[in-house]
Structure 1
Amino acid sequence: MIALAPTAEAASAAPAARRAATYVVETSSDWSAVSAGWTGAGTPFQESAWLGAWYEALGARAGLTPLLVTARDAASGEVAVRLPLVLLREGRRRTIGFADLDLTDYNAPALGPAAPRDAQGAAALWKAIRKALPRADLVRFAKMPLTLRGRPNPLALLPNIQPCALNGNVVVTGEDWDGWRRGLEKTVRKELERSWRVFSREPETSFEIVTDPERARRIVDAMEHQQETRMREKGASYVLDDPDFARFYRTLIERSIEGGEVLVSALMAGDEVVASLLGIRDGETYVMIRISNAAGRWSNCSPGRLIIERTMAALHAEGYRSFDFSIGNYDYKRRFGVTPTPLVDFTESLGLAGIPATLRAAAAGGLRRYPELDRKLRGWIGRLRATKITS
């Protein structure tokens, strides 16, 4: 069975607060009205650079209303949490969730000095926030880390938290880059060395960290084309060609690449983009968010894995020691020796229309606490579907 830590029980065992906190809550639909005082981001996806680009590109999307929530300690006036949320209208159902739309890898509140650290305080905070929310049928908070820069995530202390189907994937290299590389499986290490030799033999090849916004935009344009081509060839749906999503990434790059918050790296052969990687810098951590490669004749040098390794090496030389491969459990991540980090979901119905989704979330989350049973059940369902298709 999977145990989520810190659990609500463990948090409630913390020393009792000197007084029971109460909170006052304000809401706004205007990012510009709250952005000036926005601090305390728990992950780079709650930093102003990310959220500003997100709300500008997607805040006017049909069926979506920005919902910025600020909760303060009623006695001191200090900020407890800020929540970057949206109200989504999906048919007749109205759902409150984070500013995400599957673009944000980790969702979380931004923490202030008055953020509660135990289950009792988290429950009081949520009670105040819930009263201030606009009319909706469902609250759905997904992909939340348990801790945020060493502090407990108050939303992860609430009752009915369930394991998320996704998890983070982190590599910590330590100070010795060569020592970390030697710790990789021999076949992986030798393949990376071979790939660099094969790539380097081609004319006009290079690796670069891009700092010019216009050049970064051209490389990301090539990334989008490569990703779309790859997905179409697999017969899979591709959603990142949505004009609003494309506008979000362009806005993010234009505003943040020169300041260093966003990083674009590339393997180039003359003017051809062989592989590219888009990521975010966060203290001593680098978070990868999009990757692509040209495949075809370049497949023999494994350009996807190579762009990751070259980028990690360059950033390690700058002082980066933690590399977050983000959500999605792909084979290439395991080859780099990632450590899974758990994420949690919170679902609560606010009206009758939200009850079915809440029950489904509870059932799915409960099953995930027993990974072996979950795996067997998924396998059985898959075989059942295959039987129906072939019969």
Structure 2
Amino acid sequence: MTMAAVIDSRTAQPRPRAKGIARVDILTDLAAAEPIWRALETQGRFCSPYQRYDFLSAWQHAGRHENASPFLVVAVDAEQRPLALLPLVLTRAHGFRVAIFMGGKHTTFNMGLWDRDFAASATSADLDRLLTGLRAHDAADVLALTQQPMDWHDLRNPLALLPRQPSVNDCPLLAMPADAAPTDLLSNSFRKRLKSKEKKLQALAGYRYSIATTDVEITGLLDWFFKVKPARMAEQKLPNVFAEPGVEAFVREACLARLASGNRAIDIHALTCDEEVIALFAGVADGVRFSMMFNTYTLSPNAHWSPGLILMRHIVDHYASQGYRALDLGIGADDYKRQFCKTDEPIFDSFIPLNVRGQLAASMLSAVNRGKHVVKHSPALLGLAVRLRQALR
């Protein structure tokens, strides 16, 4: 019986207590991994929404990643029950075979998908068995596992048991306690300022806040986004990452992908009026946390009234009313993020050699990211780096 068949046959059965890793398999075909992947998404569900099959399969298929082949690490117990799936891709860098998380620049958080019981009890010995299984395949020289959350939904990330270092950037976070009043999440003075600005927008015919639900709504908002975002990025002298091959196709496919719950893999929130789209923010949600992916706002004079901040206030209130417990605006310390997110979430990287060649690769990659971390956390060095980058452009 194939592994996929075993998974299907066990889906409806009671879940026994997780046992230790007995075998590590490498799958290179997304379709072959799909039954295992979806089972881990639904049974125990210890992963971020960035690791959903519908999200990452869109990235792999539509993103034209010819130089990043699927490298899906599946750990199973003695009964062939999956304990973990690491959604990786295999690339080559400086002559080394490097395994990295799928999703590239478009995932704020990178994680494995875990059996929750196993994740809660995992030890360093379990992770050693995982690495031993990987080394036996001799398919990669080094694991370069970046932007990983230390915890997810109050449970420690098992990969935090591996050697680690702080990521280049932090992630600003807004905690949303169950008993918090709206003014506990955003100050009363900040709300008053935004409401005053929103009165100007409320005078526009058809002004409204909404979440796109139909294919027509989603497609229309994305058509507008891909026209406006390049202009906004050029205005800020930033490279247009959305113009890279396959990115637009990936975003469109993921935004239209419908989950088993009926929601979309990426949710789009917008402020609109009869004349135009005023602001758009899109991100991923899992019933507990909302995480921002991309955004932009109008080029018209309506931009004067801070529509992006107004839309964020609507988003915070929406998810608070839905019982969510956290919200983040993505990696990085942009000023607008600090108006909503007052704390930082610990994010870490791990560079793990899998053979002798990988030891050199791990040392190089670790040193590069440590250097970037130092620059990002030094105002003087960061300012110098920004000026140098602008001069080179």
Residue from 281, 288, 297 that aligns with 1:277: 281
- AA aligned opposite 1:43: S
Deviation per residue, 1:255-279 (Å, 9 max, x gap): 2279114321111121411101112
Distance 1:385 1:215, change over 3 A: closer
2 CA distance for matches of 1:374 and 1:245? 29
2 CA distance for matches of 1:107 and 1:379? 25
Residue from 225, 233, 236 that aligns with 2:235: 233
The TM-score, its normalising length taken from structure 1, stands at: 0.82
- AA aligned opposite 2:99: I
Matched residues, number: 363
Match of residue 36 from structure 1: 35
Paired residues of 1:83 and 1:110 also in contact (CA < 8 A) = yes
Residue from 297, 306, 324 that aligns with 1:320: 324
- AA aligned opposite 2:34: S
Confirm or deny that 1:345 pairs with 2:344: no
- AA aligned opposite 1:192: L
Match of residue 334 from structure 2: 330
1 CA distance for matches of 2:177 and 2:193? 22
Match of residue 10 from structure 1: none
Paired residues of 1:72 and 1:114 also in contact (CA < 8 A) = no
Confirm or deny that 1:300 pairs with 2:300: no
Q: Per-residue deviation at 1:333?
A: 1.3
1 CA distance for matches of 2:365 and 2:92? 19
1 CA distance for matches of 2:151 and 2:243? 33
1 CA distance for matches of 2:217 and 2:376? 49
Distance 1:309 1:143, change over 3 A: same
2 CA distance for matches of 1:376 and 1:301? 30
Say which SS state the counterpart of residue 378 (structure 1) adopts. Answer: helix
Match of residue 170 from structure 1: 173
Alignment of 1:173-192 (within 5 A): 173-175=176-178, 179-181=181-183, 184-185=186-187, 187-192=189-194
Distance 1:41 1:51, change over 3 A: farther
Residue from 120, 125, 133 that aligns with 1:128: 133
Deviation per residue, 1:175-221 (Å, 9 max, x gap): 466x3336634552232111211111223322112111121111022
Paired residues of 1:279 and 1:290 also in contact (CA < 8 A) = yes
2 CA distance for matches of 1:153 and 1:91? 30
Say which SS state the counterpart of residue 169 (structure 2) adopts. Answer: strand
Match of residue 205 from structure 1: 207
Residue from 64, 87, 90 that aligns with 1:87: 90
Paired residues of 1:23 and 1:128 also in contact (CA < 8 A) = no
Deviation per residue, 1:111-143 (Å, 9 max, x gap): 124445222322222222232251x34321101
Q: Per-residue deviation at 1:349?
A: 3.8
Distance 1:280 1:362, change over 3 A: closer
Structure 1 range deviating more: 117-126 or 80-89: 117-126
Q: Per-residue deviation at 1:97?
A: 0.5
Deviation per residue, 1:57-80 (Å, 9 max, x gap): 23x52212111111112x343322
Say which SS state the counterpart of residue 167 (structure 2) adopts. Answer: strand
Match of residue 55 from structure 2: 50
Deviation per residue, 1:308-350 (Å, 9 max, x gap): 1112223333333422222222111111133211111011344
Say which SS state the counterpart of residue 299 (structure 1) adopts. Answer: helix
Distance 1:90 1:372, change over 3 A: closer
Distance 1:133 1:208, change over 3 A: farther
Paired residues of 1:41 and 1:47 also in contact (CA < 8 A) = no
Say which SS state the counterpart of residue 240 (structure 1) adopts. Answer: helix
Deviation per residue, 1:215-269 (Å, 9 max, x gap): 1111022122222111112222112122411111111122227911432111112
- AA aligned opposite 1:30: D
Deviation per residue, 1:15-61 (Å, 9 max, x gap): xxxxx945311111111111122214411111222123223223x52
Distance 1:374 1:278, change over 3 A: closer
Q: Per-residue deviation at 1:290?
A: 1.2
Match of residue 81 from structure 2: 78
2 CA distance for matches of 1:379 and 1:214? 42
Alignment of 1:12-31 (within 5 A): 21-31=20-30
Q: Per-residue deviation at 1:366?
A: 5.8
Paired residues of 1:68 and 1:84 also in contact (CA < 8 A) = yes
Distance 1:183 1:68, change over 3 A: closer
- AA aligned opposite 1:124: R
Paired residues of 1:367 and 1:374 also in contact (CA < 8 A) = no
2 CA distance for matches of 1:46 and 1:201? 41
Say which SS state the counterpart of residue 311 (structure 2) adopts. Answer: helix
2 CA distance for matches of 1:377 and 1:23? 50
1 CA distance for matches of 2:257 and 2:370? 42
Q: Any gaps of 5 or more consecutive residues in structure 1?
A: 1-19
Distance 1:231 1:357, change over 3 A: farther
- AA aligned opposite 2:284: I
Distance 1:148 1:132, change over 3 A: farther
2 CA distance for matches of 1:102 and 1:111? 23
Structural RMSD (CA): 3.1
Say which SS state the counterpart of residue 183 (structure 2) adopts. Answer: helix
